Amino acid sequence: MFEKDYFEKSHFSKMGGYELLTKLNSWRPKKYRKLILKSSTPNHKTLLDIGCAYGHFLEILQNDFIVHGTDISRHAIKIAKRRVNCSYDIGNIEKEGIPFKQKFDIITALSVIEHLKDPRKGLENIYEHLNEGGLFCFEVPTISNKRSAFFYKLFFSYDKTHIFIKPVDEIERLVKLVGFKKVAIYSSLFPIFTKKKNFIEMFSFIFGIFKKN
């Protein structure tokens, strides 16, 4: 499902291709980097990016942490290896769990949770592979009300592999149920990020930072 055709012949092709879309939205992961650095400490040294795709986020973070990447797609990892020289492994975080034996100080998952049939299982595997005090940082589209449903339809509904789209409060409860403590949740659809609840629920796309107690 997530091999070459997903990146080159699916909905991405209608928007100029995956690489072009990533370039047009490059401001967003750069903002994520700043928020991660703001929430991290010198003890946070290692980082795993789940769903690393073509390695764009790893490229942004490679000078800040010892980075590692994993993806369900062999094709994506093949491309990522050309962009960033680091450790990679193929894995399904729901079925096989995290495909690394070591634990990490930070785990990121951008546009991953919405693809999971069993998100709680995926989150539990992430929790188990974080060191104490580690950070879990993720982005996910949400639908909390009619306005966010409009923005979801406008920007995200074209990807038919989305199977877990929930309100912000429900996603927050699920992440906390696994054992994480919330650091912050931001509205991240537009360049001006905010933690105000009405904007977070209105604009569909969020970026969350949670901590393992």
Written as one string, the DSSP assignment of 159-197 is -TT------HHHHHHHHHHHTEEEEEEEE-SSSS-B--H
**What are the domain boundaries of the chain?**
4-212
The letter for the amino acid at 169 is: D
Q: Which superfamily is assigned to 4-212 in CATH?
A: Vaccinia Virus protein VP39 (3.40.50.150)
Band the pLDDT of 8: cuts 50, 70, 90: confident
Average pLDDT over residues 4-24: 83
Whether residue 166 has pLDDT greater than 90: yes
Which range is least confidently modeled, 5-9, 45-49, 168-172?
5-9
Whether residue 1 has pLDDT greater than 90: no
pLDDT number for residue 20: 84
Indicate the pTM of the whole model. Answer: 0.95
Q: What is the pLDDT of residues 16-27, one digit of tens each?
A: 778 888 988 999
pLDDT number for residue 7: 86
Structure tokens at 124: 């539990």
CB of 196 closer than 8 Å to CB of 187: yes
